[in-house]
Amino acid sequence: MTQNIYGQVEYSGRYWRITCEPQVRSRLKRVFPRVPQSAGHHIELLASAENSRELLWFLQRYPMDMSAEALAALHHQADQHFEMERSLAELVAGRRELPPFELAKPAREYQRFGAAQVDIRGGLLLADDLGLGKTVTAMCVMAETKNLPAVVVYPAALPNHWPEKLAEFLPNLRVHHIRTGKPYPLIKQPRQRLPDLWDSLPDVILVSYHKLRGWAETLGEIVQYAVFEECQQLRNPDSEIYRACGYLAGQARLRIGLTATPIYNYGSEFYHVVNPLVPDCLGDYYEFLREWCIGTISEKPKLRDAEQFGAYLRREGIMLRRTRSEVGRELPALSKIPYEIESDGKVLASITGDAVLLARTILASNESYKGEKMQAAGELDQLVRQATGIAKAPFVAEFVRLLVESGEQVLLFGWHREVYNIWLEKLQDLDPVMYTGTESPKEKQRSKDAFVSGESRVMIVSLRAAFGFDGIQDVCCTGVFGELDWSPGVHEQACGRFHRDGQLKPSQAFFLISNEGSDPIMSDVLGIKREQIEGVRNPGEHLIERRDIGESHLRLLAQRFLAEHGASAPAAKPIPIHREQQLELC
């Protein structure tokens, strides 16, 4: 009996192009719901390992013509997916022996497990709890010479973390720190004045996210293993940094992203963080939005079911997340204490005129002024948040002074330079030190050393610089948030500076909140964003009740400001103002 042939399959290297009979094409679209559902004579299917395996299964029922090269590629891709699934299942079941990963200080078993999963999956989002040693997990992979050269991409605020850890755990590796944004030879040249270059390529190359923009193509030619420290930096796809990271990741054989807080805002950011680490595992962005999210791109899409999405990432080996209790390294409790604090009403009154104009612009119903509305929203956010911080600043300083006089060392978190200046003036007798975006790497290190040695009892830390650095937990168990951030992940990272592995005392984080300005709205909005990350990281742990306020937080801020100052808003759809506020942070 002659076998029916229902069409033809061609291979382009990235896509399977399938031309087939209409009834078969209809069935194919049901098997692959991510492909375009519109009418057409052919279908282009992303040639991922998973898709290739399912296409091979489909062709058993509906045979199609293929070249020998395309058929071989299809079997190879399908076999890769089968082998990956089998190896991952054996690893999870404990039937696969963990590689030794020989470091100067032995890695813990759960750290070796994470490194083994990177080798099996090819890419991994490692979202372990803060302080569980994600850096060590990433370094385990570097212990095997086949994975070198490795490129570590780090935030500019963390210039010293990786050199310190590599010297501690892999002192025999040759490490080079990229010094400029313009590429130069990585093999030592005559008269080249760089002490950490040799006659062959370095084993590990450290480069900041900003400098990678100029180095991506150069490093892409040599990279075997790419590490993205604090990989929530990847969440903005419209930047040169993201494109540079995507290119480097695409050239690497192995990739890992390290962060306890994969996103800072809404769940759709997960796609941009995950996709460079495990390319195409979520399809393209529009497929991801259709299958996993609610809302449009302009409305900041949210995950439809964060717990289900998190379970999928784990099941497919895309994300690995362990809590302290799961690995037996629980810390003394962290108490999160909202504390209402006074503020200077005159400061907020001084911005009323400008703020009212901006608020009215934001709330205007005319859709033809979207650009002006966006600009006004940014300006209102900056104006009111800074004024709120300044209005609270003297009272925050007095609160910190009381803590220091009771014997505590304090990390004081803020955002605006004008607020820092008030804190520095009010606390000058306590010799506060700074760890913000302004200090050089050497100045940051001196500040940290002075705080750890006890020379200074207060360290002022920028909210967005509060990730990655270690060692503070040895002397400090108290953090004070003198200003708030819109994103709960920022607060969690800040808490992780003192509430991390090695902390022996119960820790406390004070959130100092004014009942005026931006604080009430910010504390409300943070509850929405919190759920988006918790459902993915910790399914089954309903840490907060979902509260969708349905409008942009800056529109809420604008409406609240007008209401509190007796100013009329332009005709627009009313926005509910929440009078009962609950702090749900960190």
The model's pLDDT over 269-315, given as tens digits with 9 standing for 90+, comes to 889 999 999 988 887 788 888 888 887 666 678 888 888 888 899 98
- Can you tell me the distance from the alpha carbon of 323 to that of 222, in angstroms, rounded to the nearest whole number? 35
State which H helix or E strand residue 370 sits in: helix 370-405
Query: What are the CA-CA distances from residue 265 to residues 241, 373, 488, 553 (Å)?
Result: 19, 20, 8, 12
DSSP per-residue string spanning 191-256: T---TT-BSS--SEEEEEHHHHHHHHHHHHTT-SEEEEETGGGGG-TTSHHHHHHHHHHHH-SEEE
Cα 121 from Cα 116, distance rounded (Å):
9
| Residue 165, C-beta contacts closer than 8 angstroms, at least 6 positions apart | 135, 136, 139
| Residue pair 268/286 in contact by the 8 Å Cβ criterion | no
| Residue with token string 């709205």 | 521
- Which secondary-structure segment (H or E) carries 481? strand 478-481
Residue of higher predicted confidence among 551 and 465: 465
Instruction: Name residue, tokens 């940290």.
Output: 448
Joined together, the tokens standing for residue 244 give 């540079």
Q: Are 121 and 317 in contact (CB under 8 A)?
A: yes
Buried b (16+ CB within 10 A) or exposed e, 454-471: eebbbbbbbbbbbbbbbb
**What pLDDT was estimated at residue 562?**
67
Q: For the segment 213-255, what is each residue's pLDDT rounded down to a tens digit?
A: 999 999 999 999 999 998 988 988 888 999 999 999 999 999 9
Residue 114 has pLDDT above 60, yes or no: yes
Q: What is the pLDDT of residue 577?
A: 33
For range 85-95, the mean pLDDT: 90
Answer yes or no: is pLDDT of 153 > 90.
yes
Please state whether 34 falls in left (phi above 0), alpha (psi between -120 and 50) or beta.
alpha
How far is the C-alpha of 435 from the C-alpha of 459, rounded, in Å? 7
Task: Give one word for 482, left, alpha or beta, with left for phi > 0 and alpha for psi -120 to 50.
Answer: alpha
Token pair in block for residue 501? 């592995």
pLDDT of residue 406: 82
Residue pLDDT, tens place only, 469-510: 788 888 999 999 999 888 777 888 888 889 888 888 888 888
Report how far residue 29's alpha carbon sits from residue 18's, in angstroms, rounded to the nearest whole number: 11
Q: 80 — phi, psi (to 5°)?
A: -60, -45
What letter would DSSP give residue 106?
Answer: P
Q: Are 281 and 275 in contact (CB under 8 A)?
A: yes
Residue 40, φ and ψ in degrees, nearest 5: 180, 160
Per-residue pLDDT band at 260 (split at 50, 70, 90): confident
Question: What are the tokens at 60?
Answer: 């058993």
Which whole number is the average pLDDT over 528-536?
A: 59
Count CB neighbours of 521 within 10 A: 24
Angle at 159 between CA 154 and CA 162, to 5 degrees: 70
Q: HSE (CB half, 13 Å, CA atoms) of 39?
A: 1
Element at 313 (helix H, strand E): helix 306-315
- Residue 200 sits at the vertex; the CA angle it makes with 197 and 206, to the nearest 5 degrees, is 50
Q: Token match 């045979």: residue? A: 63
Does pLDDT of 575 surpass 90?
A: no
Q: Distance between alpha carbon 385 and the CA centroid of its chain, in Å?
A: 23
Q: Give the residue-averaged pLDDT of 142-154.
A: 96
* pLDDT at position 544: 30
Is the overall model pTM greater than 0.85, yes or no? no
Cβ atoms 480, 412 nearer than 8 A: yes
Q: Is the pLDDT of residue 367 over 60?
A: no
Q: What is the model's pLDDT at position 218?
A: 96
Residue 571 pLDDT grade (very low, low, confident, very high; cuts 50, 70, 90): very low
